[in-house]
Amino acid sequence: MTHTIPAARLSSASKTYDDKIALRDVSLDIGPGGVVALLGPNGAGKTTTVKLLLGLAAPTSGSVTLFGGDPRRASSRQRIGAMLQVGKVPETLRVSEHIDLFRTYYPNPMPTAEIFAAAGLDGLGDRKFGDLSGGQRQRVLFALAICGDPDMLFLDEPTLGFDVETRRSFWEQIRAFVSRGRTILLTTHYMEEADALADRIVVIDHGSIIADGTPTEIKRRVSGRKIHCTTRLSEDDLRAIPGVTQLRYDHGSADLVVADAESVARELLWNDESLSDLEISGIQLEEAFLALTQSVTQTPEAA
Amino acid sequence: MTSAVITSRSPSGDAIVATTPRFRSLRIYLAEAKYELRKQTRIPAFMIPTIGFPIMFYVLFGLLMQHGNKDSATVATYMLATYGAFGVISIALFSLGVGVAAERGQGWLAVKKASPMPLTAYFTAKYLTTLAIGAILMLLMCVIGAVFGHVRMSAAQWTMLIVSETLGAIPFCAMGLAIGYLAGPNSAAPVVNILYLPMAFLSGLFIPAEMLPRFLQGFAVVLPPYHLARLALETVGIEPASHALVHIAALVGFGALFTVIASIGYHRDEGKTYG
């Protein structure tokens, strides 16, 4: 019997902060192996999921394991690395000192030279953390996460605030690291990032998993474009146009989410010659999530 | 290092080669302490107020203003004890208490906690660094007192003063942690500021407690800095060494109390997030 233990597992895990439900009854198996992107808008429960898996918070109900064990145990933590969102890192220590210290935490740390190469920090060892650029700082946090040569790596919004070029070069580093057969859990709210790195995307919103599949499957579900216009047409007229999947209407100002923007636009202009303010744009991920969540939660709420 | 290498088998049957946990753990404690001390002493904005202010106060009020006073050596001795206490307590409350609160609020502590580092190594390093900087401050103040203030004591007294002030910082480390965990990361610094100056004043760190109005003097007994200042004054021979054990017991008691409060705050904080 081949029974593989997942690298990380949430079993019916819920987390409540005071009265706010951050995560509700989430079950998720990750790895071993592969890159999973946890995708969702701010406050969806991504960081809570990571915190539970890292043992930084305990689930209110349900259970969480890392390699079949308690995430809080040192033996579990020796097999993982985590790049978290940090407001401020001690600035007076040099890059090499930060790395040297984190290497002592692990029984079999990665050789220092390999860490520097993998994180793209060559030549920056003597710099104090406070003297680094934003991109370089994230690289140091990445370096600290891989000090223990981890089997599983957690990356919580690793490229938040990066410019396009820095982001792409950072992705290259992550890809090189993945190719060594590790498990990675990446949280992001950039669809592009999930698409570039992950082979599985788990979409989370309002504390629940609302989609789970390959990037292609997920993109198919959230495809479409958004049309904005000012129109004389009534809400019912607009809803009757074929291909409109979502509509927000307020005193003549309409926002539509549509599968085929060109044909819907043609229809709109045909039916309303005075139509103005026409704008067609791609769907922001956040709106796509909204579309996904609404379709999921409407049923229980209507009941 | 080779002698400490053992081979064991994990439940899945893979051979694991690792240094013995205890030996590795000691290395973590040492590295953590080494880098904590480096980190702190490289912050000018930290070293100038924590080391600079007590020395400045001591030089100003204990030495310069006593110029021509026939009891100047006695005053210099007295204030060496009280400003020494003021200094080491500041280091404990600000560098440790506010420092930990800040690292917690900024998410740095979470990065450390997600690693296999034992959390006790983090706190031990903070305590040891506080004691080391406290000892440096006391050494500097003693040299200044002896050279410029004509403070004369036996070698045993000098040693005991430095030791008692340095170790006397420990309960205030716990107090700093307790305040940090109760007040929250963003409020830790203002709360320490609001509490510390009145507490230092009422404990007789700036002017002798006997010079305060009577109703305030009774209050001093319940303030931890009072006991450290008294202990130091007994050490330097200003006060008869009759209550040393009482003051030590009070400091140990306060230390235990604040440790309990800090640990309650720590457990309450577990799982909560701060923006």
Nearest-by-CA chain B residue for A80 = B115
Sign of the dihedral through C-alpha A69, A72, A74, A76: positive
For residue A61, list chain B residues with Cβ-Cβ distance below 8 A: none
Mean predicted confidence (pLDDT) in B3-18: 41
B225 and B89 in contact (C-beta within 8 Å)?
yes
pLDDT for residue B208: 86
Residue B13 maps to a domain: no
Indicate yes or no: CB of B114 within 8 angstroms of CB of A141: no
For residue A108, list chain B residues with Cβ-Cβ distance below 8 A: 17-18
A72 and A53 in contact (C-beta within 8 Å)?
no
For residue A93, list chain B residues with Cβ-Cβ distance below 8 A: 35, 38-39, 42
Indicate yes or no: CB of A86 within 8 angstroms of CB of B39: no
Q: How much is the ipTM here?
A: 0.85
Residue B145 maps to a domain: yes
The pTM (predicted TM-score) of the whole model is 0.82
Indicate yes or no: CB of A88 within 8 angstroms of CB of B106: yes
Domains, chain A: 8-221 (3.40.50.300), 225-282 (3.30.70)
Nearest-by-CA chain A residue for B111 = A84
Tell me: pLDDT of B231 over 60. Answer: yes
Nearest by CB to B35, which of A85, A97, A141? A97
Tell me: pLDDT of A66 over 50. Answer: yes
Mean predicted confidence (pLDDT) in A35-63: 90
Nearest-by-CA chain A residue for B23 = A107
pLDDT for residue A257: 84
Percent of chain B residues past pLDDT 70, beyond the cut: 89
Report the number of distinct structural domains present in chain B. 1
Q: B interface mutation test: which of A4, A56, A79 has the most B CBs within 10 A?
A: A56
**Beta strands A225-230 and A253-258, pairing class:** antiparallel
B5 touches chain A (CB under 8 A): no
Residues of A in CB contact (< 8 Å) with B are 15, 17, 47, 51, 54-58, 74, 77-78, 80-82, 84-90, 92-93, 97, 100-102, 104-108, 128, 141, 144, 148, 154
Q: A interface mutation test: which of B37, B40, B111 has the most A CBs within 10 A?
A: B111
Indicate yes or no: CB of B115 within 8 angstroms of CB of A58: no
Residue B3 maps to a domain: no
Tell me: pLDDT of A2 over 60. Answer: no
Look up residue B66 and give its DSSP letter.
Answer: G
pLDDT for residue B35: 97
pLDDT: which is higher, A211 or B17 = A211
Look up residue A207 and give its DSSP letter.
Answer: T
Whole-angstrom distance, CA of residue A260 vs CA of residue A244: 8
Residue B122 CB contacts under 8 Å (≥ 6 apart), including other chains: B32, B109, B112
* B25 — pLDDT class (breaks 50, 70, 90): confident
Beta-carbon pairs below 8 A across chains A and B: 93
Weakest-pLDDT range from A61-65, B51-55, B141-145: B51-55
Indicate yes or no: CB of A88 within 8 angstroms of CB of B115: no
Mean predicted confidence (pLDDT) in B180-202: 91
Mean pLDDT of chain B: 87
Nearest by CB to A86, which of B107, B113, B118? B107
Indicate yes or no: CB of A86 within 8 angstroms of CB of B106: yes
For residue B24, list chain A residues with Cβ-Cβ distance below 8 A: 104, 107
Residue B222 maps to a domain: yes
For residue B19, list chain A residues with Cβ-Cβ distance below 8 A: 107
* CA nearest to B171, candidates B59, B272, B249: B249
* B145 — pLDDT class (breaks 50, 70, 90): very high
Q: Find which of A33-47, A54-68, B61-75 is predicted with most confidence, using mean pLDDT.
A: A54-68
Residue B130 maps to a domain: yes
Nearest by CB to B115, which of A90, A92, A105? A105
Residue B4 maps to a domain: no
For residue B270, list chain A residues with Cβ-Cβ distance below 8 A: 57-58
Weakest-pLDDT range from A166-170, A214-218, B182-186: A214-218
pLDDT for residue B271: 52
* B269 — pLDDT class (breaks 50, 70, 90): confident
Indicate yes or no: CB of B116 within 8 angstroms of CB of A74: yes
Whole-angstrom distance, CA of residue B177 vs CA of residue B183: 10
Residue B255 maps to a domain: yes
The partner residues of B6 in beta bridges, in order of sequence, read B18
Residue B6 maps to a domain: no
Q: A interface mutation test: which of B6, B32, B35 has the most A CBs within 10 A?
A: B35
Q: In what order do the strands lie in the sheet with A20-30?
A: A20-30, A8-17, A61-66
Find the domain containing B183 and state its range. 25-268
* CA nearest to A195, candidates A5, A27, A65, A37: A37
Indicate yes or no: CB of B39 within 8 angstroms of CB of A85: no
Whole-angstrom distance, CA of residue A120 vs CA of residue A132: 13
* CA nearest to A260, candidates A225, A219, A297, A209: A225
For residue A138, list chain B residues with Cβ-Cβ distance below 8 A: none
For residue B28, list chain A residues with Cβ-Cβ distance below 8 A: 104-105
Mean predicted confidence (pLDDT) in B223-251: 93
Indicate yes or no: CB of A92 within 8 angstroms of CB of B39: yes
